[in-house]
Chain A
Amino acid sequence: MNQQQILPRPKHAITSEMMDKSFLADVIKMRGGQNVLDCIQCGVCAGSCHASWAMDFTPMQIVRMLHLGMKEKVLSSSTIWICASCYTCATRCPRGIDIPLLMSALKNMAIKEKFPAKIPVKPRFHKTFADIVQKYGRIHEPELFLKITNKTDFKGMMQNAKLGWTLLRKGKLKMKAPKVNKKDQWSTLFKNIAKEEGV
């Protein structure tokens, strides 16, 4: 009978169940991870970001969620996939946090922990990109383009056809596969990284 009556918890409240205690430490420690505790939440990154309109959270909010250890929300956000790595935020950040690098670290973590990506094409894009680099030692745009688009949508491919044609005419798209010296060293490099990362 002595139990005090309190109002029910708001449905959208942040609770300790949402906070993964080791998440922040893991992010700081991992390859490409940044000391996000340095962040003073000034908002320069959010104001600078040219892709923030498409994101569900601004980079600043992602960092804030990292502070609180909200793993679920961070790794399933679209922000980490939309980041174009233009480095505007990183050059302006007063605390020297390399946000694009942090985003790619979070991407890696999301893939490893099997979080579904909000932008499904992005993980495949990264994978294909890496595959092509491993194959030729350098990126080959036509192959990348074809591999990405024909698996997702034919319509998107048609939309980009005009741009492709312009690039081709200006000689920006090389149809021939690129060649680099000592290509065998590339595969060793990739193998070593894969071993280190435990992929």
Chain B
Amino acid sequence: MAKQEPKIGVYICRCGCDIEGNISATVDVEKVKEAAASINGVKVAEVYEYVCSNPGQQMIRDGIKEQGLNRIVVAACSPRMHLETFKRNVNQEGLNPYLLEIANIREQCSWIHDDKKLATFKAVDLVGRAVERARNLKPLEEKKVKVNRDALVIGGGIAGINASVELADKGYQVYLVEKGPSIGGHMAQLGKTFPTLDCSSCVITPKMVYVAQHPLIKIFSLSEVTKVDGSPGNFKITIKKRPRYVDASKCTACGECSKKCPVTAKSEFEVGLGSRKAIYQPFRQAVPSAYSIDKVNCLYFTKGVCKVCQKFCKANAVDFMQQEETVELNVGAIVVSTGYEVLDPQGVKQYSYGLNPDIVTHLQFERLLVQGLRRPSTGEQPKKIAFILCVGSRMNETAVENDYCEYCCNIGCMNAIKEAYVFQKEVPDAEPWVFYTDIRAHGKGYEEFYARLRNHGVRFIRGRAAEVMPYNGHLRVRAADTLLGMPIEEDFDMVVLSSGLVPSPGTDNVARMIGIHTGSDGFILERHHKLRPVDTQREGVYACGCALGPKDIRETITESMAVASQVATFLGKGEVPVSAEVAMVDEKKCNGCEECLKICPARAVEKIPSTFRTRMEINPMSCIGCGICVPICPTGAIDLNHSSEEQLMAQVRGVEMKEDVSPKIVAFIEKNTAYASADLAGQTRAHYGPNIRIISVPSTGRVGFKHLLQAFVAGADGVVFVEGEDSSFTGEKLREHVTRLKKDLQAVGVESLRLVSTTITIPQYPKLVDTFEVFTNRVSKIGPLSPKVRSEVGEKLKKLEAGESK
């Protein structure tokens, strides 16, 4: 079909009755029709009131049927309006929907210009350009790929547990990977939860047991994901399983071994405030319910003697010969729920954490409350406790401390209030003081809880504590009551630091392995803050709980349920569509330089090792079709479907501005966000000059040096790049790209000022109009490109193209 002589049909829409029409009021459609008909290859050129209406669609179908048209150009409104309508329409007649092109002569022409003559010229140009592109269009097929119906959940805290339960209950096989010896996470460590004060472990333990007994959930404890390959729907996972040295299937968790073990170590579960043996269970309700040997402390592994546990184990479960295992899994989707860690408050030096055992973090205090509250230093019951909030939180990069969080920890206020309350319940004449910066009681029932506690004898001091000094067996806290502007100083038995929450140490590694992004705070970045809060940048990979940012249990549960729903939606269909608009590597041309591998934002490029020559391949499942890799390829081996080199070049070549507008500017606009913004500019009838010619591209990274040269040869005096702010090609990447292009332009004698770039969001269309205006002014100051430079640019372009064809 590609070799078939193109027979192009151009259908021009008035968008209303004759003169009054949305388009025909400012554009002389008859003239456009004449001009279109005169273009080589155009068989049919028609004008109709509403091409999108049924008779209009029928007209196109008739054209295909009767005239044998094989390319259709519709000059009408924005493709964002009716592209799908027209695609369906031509498909009905058996024409491949990718052979349709839309020239946007409403939002980009009739709605933004008043001058009928110039608007008509521009419309002619837009249609001409669409025809040039249509001539080069190729039919494409959308494929569908079967997906694996299993899911992997990384991290066995409450987020991972609940996501697994939800997914398994929906009928999906779930693999739950946990790095520790037991699932449960931080929630298992907590005593009571705010604001209802129900017991945390009483809530989570049944869930843990449910997970352990669920036929569709397989727990990998003491395991870590080491490799993620494949594509969304068909991931290949490698898991490293560390030896437990106890056969979990035989172990009855009787605890006999632990009683006999001669080695004691600090308990991680008790956050250093208790001890355990070298063979241990983190807590009694641990799942899997089996003991494990800590290799670092065990006498057998350090000194080669002992084996006492083996002797006393009645079930014969202890096995010192266990080896590390590697497990390979195939899954369709991945859920990241790696959770958080408590920030080490030693970085905030004025609070003396680590210098006195009575200064503890909120998680340690939680364990103390469960153990039965005693001062770690003396073992007495504390009477007076200071709760210091925002420790290490809400700092900024200029603060002196090394370890800090810029964000609010979200749970510190409520947690401290709850702990103060439990403290009051435990100790009859307790005196809790809360030193706060701002109380953030944002959840359901939180403000009421805070109000209740204010009436309950908890002393709230508005002021971040300035320092904590161990003094005469007490802890002296100095602060300012900022509401009075007066200093305040008091001695306490204990100090509890509400330290910030940071992403757990493996988060960054996991993210890099899977190919998803983390934000500047180190937490996983969601696809969209509002609309896709549990999706990551990569299809088929989701995140929930504190891996996305600090949050309370209720919100974590909400997210884990949302994640289960998203995964079910993704896997439930059984197959995923693969976009046809993806990049392809020409095997013969590829020299394996890995430039594309480095720049790809979606990790779609895969290295195919071979003894003869390493080459790259692009996975169409992962490819997001941004086209950044196309200009970056030094051998020109990559091309992008539906925005191929020849299509784009033809489109740029079509911008021959015959009419007398100056300066002539070509705007390369990213096709989703930025294009929508330009549409909005049209819809609100914002005005910008008819000298601006918009070409939509998958991303501005798609535009290479060649296209720029072609634009200048075709008569442009300046080029604008407009990128959507939510695309994968913003910030540093865009800046680098533009800087490189500017340098190249200067080398051929074109001023670097003739190229600008900007990023916008959809509602920011005034910025777009502004950019156009400012740039127009700038280019008119520089003046049009001199004919001499233009011819030089032309020669350079010819050379480039000649070099490529070789």
Residues of A within 8 A of B (CB): 38, 40-44, 46-49, 52-53, 57-58, 60-61, 90-97
Say yes or no: is B350 at the interface (Cβ < 8 Å to chain A): yes
Please, how many angstroms separate the alpha-carbon atoms of A48 and B488 in the complex?
10
B2 neighbours in A (Cβ, 8 Å): none
Q: Which of A53, A58, A61, A96 interacts with B398 by CB under 8 Å?
A: A96
Say yes or no: is B437 at the interface (Cβ < 8 Å to chain A): yes
Please, how many angstroms separate the alpha-carbon atoms of A47 and B478 in the complex?
6
Contact call B479/A43, Cβ cutoff below 8 A: yes
B350 neighbours in A (Cβ, 8 Å): 48, 92
Contact call B394/A61, Cβ cutoff below 8 A: no
Given A40-B437, A47-B464, A52-B487, A94-B396 contact (CB < 8 Å) = yes
Please, how many angstroms separate the alpha-carbon atoms of A92 and B404 in the complex?
12
Contact call B480/A96, Cβ cutoff below 8 A: no
> Smallest Cβ distance from A111 to chain B, in angstroms?
26
Contact call A43/B467, Cβ cutoff below 8 A: no
Please, how many angstroms separate the alpha-carbon atoms of A177 and B480 in the complex?
44
Given A47-B465, A48-B466, A95-B398 contact (CB < 8 Å) = yes
Contact call A40/B485, Cβ cutoff below 8 A: no
List 17 additional A-B contacts (Cβ < 8 Å) besides A44-B466, A94-B399.
A40-B437, A41-B482, A43-B463, A43-B464, A43-B480, A46-B480, A46-B482, A47-B464, A47-B465, A48-B478, A57-B485, A92-B400, A93-B399, A94-B390, A94-B404, A94-B464, A95-B395
B396 neighbours in A (Cβ, 8 Å): 38, 94-96
Given A46-B480, A94-B399, A96-B396, A58-B485 contact (CB < 8 Å) = yes
Nearest B residue (CB) for A42 = B464
B467 neighbours in A (Cβ, 8 Å): 47-48, 92
Please, how many angstroms separate the alpha-carbon atoms of A57 and B486 in the complex?
10
5 A-B pairs with the lowest CB-CB distances in the bound complex, closest first = A96-B398, A47-B466, A46-B480, A43-B463, A47-B480
B482 neighbours in A (Cβ, 8 Å): 41-43, 46, 58, 60
Against A, the Cβ 8 Å flags (1 = close, 0 = not) of B377-402 are 00000000000001000111111110
B485 neighbours in A (Cβ, 8 Å): 46, 57-58, 60-61
Contact call B487/A47, Cβ cutoff below 8 A: yes
Given A47-B465, A92-B350, A40-B394 contact (CB < 8 Å) = yes
Contact call A46/B400, Cβ cutoff below 8 A: no
Output the residue of A38, A40, A53, A94 with the most chain B CB within 10 A: A94
A95 neighbours in B (Cβ, 8 Å): 395-396, 398-399
17 contacts between A and B (CB under 8 A): A42-B463, A43-B437, A43-B462, A44-B464, A44-B465, A46-B480, A46-B487, A47-B480, A48-B350, A49-B480, A58-B480, A58-B485, A60-B482, A92-B350, A92-B467, A94-B464, A97-B398
A53 neighbours in B (Cβ, 8 Å): 487
Please, how many angstroms separate the alpha-carbon atoms of A93 and B404 in the complex?
12
Against A, the Cβ 8 Å flags (1 = close, 0 = not) of B520-563 are 00000000000000000000000000000000000000000000
Please, how many angstroms separate the alpha-carbon atoms of A94 and B488 in the complex?
20
Q: Which of B478-524 contact A (CB under 8 A)?
A: 478-482, 485, 487-488
Contact call A92/B466, Cβ cutoff below 8 A: yes
B399 neighbours in A (Cβ, 8 Å): 93-96
Q: Which of B403-442 contact A (CB under 8 A)?
A: 404, 437-438
B462 neighbours in A (Cβ, 8 Å): 43
Please, how many angstroms separate the alpha-carbon atoms of A44 and B393 in the complex?
13
Please, how many angstroms separate the alpha-carbon atoms of A96 and B397 in the complex?
7
B437 neighbours in A (Cβ, 8 Å): 40, 42-43
Please, how many angstroms separate the alpha-carbon atoms of A92 and B478 in the complex?
13
> Smallest Cβ distance from A95 to chain B, in angstroms?
5
Contact call B487/A91, Cβ cutoff below 8 A: no
Contact call B400/A91, Cβ cutoff below 8 A: yes
Nearest B residue (CB) for A38 = B396
Given A40-B437, A47-B487, A58-B480, A94-B466 contact (CB < 8 Å) = no
Nearest A residue (CB) for B404 = A94
Given A41-B482, A46-B487, A47-B480, A96-B400 contact (CB < 8 Å) = yes
> Smallest Cβ distance from B124 to chain A, in angstroms?
51
B404 neighbours in A (Cβ, 8 Å): 94
Output the residue of A38, A41, A43 with the most chain B CB within 10 A: A43
Please, how many angstroms separate the alpha-carbon atoms of A57 and B404 in the complex?
29
A43 neighbours in B (Cβ, 8 Å): 437, 462-464, 466, 479-482
Output the residue of A57, A60, A92, A95 with the most chain B CB within 10 A: A92
Nearest B residue (CB) for A34 = B398
B464 neighbours in A (Cβ, 8 Å): 42-44, 47, 94
Please, how many angstroms separate the alpha-carbon atoms of A40 and B463 in the complex?
11
A61 neighbours in B (Cβ, 8 Å): 485
A38 neighbours in B (Cβ, 8 Å): 396, 398
A49 neighbours in B (Cβ, 8 Å): 480, 487
> Smallest Cβ distance from A89 to chain B, in angstroms?
8
> Smallest Cβ distance from B497 to chain A, in angstroms?
14
Please, how many angstroms separate the alpha-carbon atoms of A147 and B479 in the complex?
38
Nearest A residue (CB) for B395 = A94
> Smallest Cβ distance from B724 to chain A, in angstroms?
30
Against A, the Cβ 8 Å flags (1 = close, 0 = not) of B459-471 are 0001111110000
Please, how many angstroms separate the alpha-carbon atoms of A94 and B390 in the complex?
10
Please, how many angstroms separate the alpha-carbon atoms of A92 and B438 in the complex?
18
Given A43-B463, A46-B485, A46-B487, A94-B394 contact (CB < 8 Å) = yes
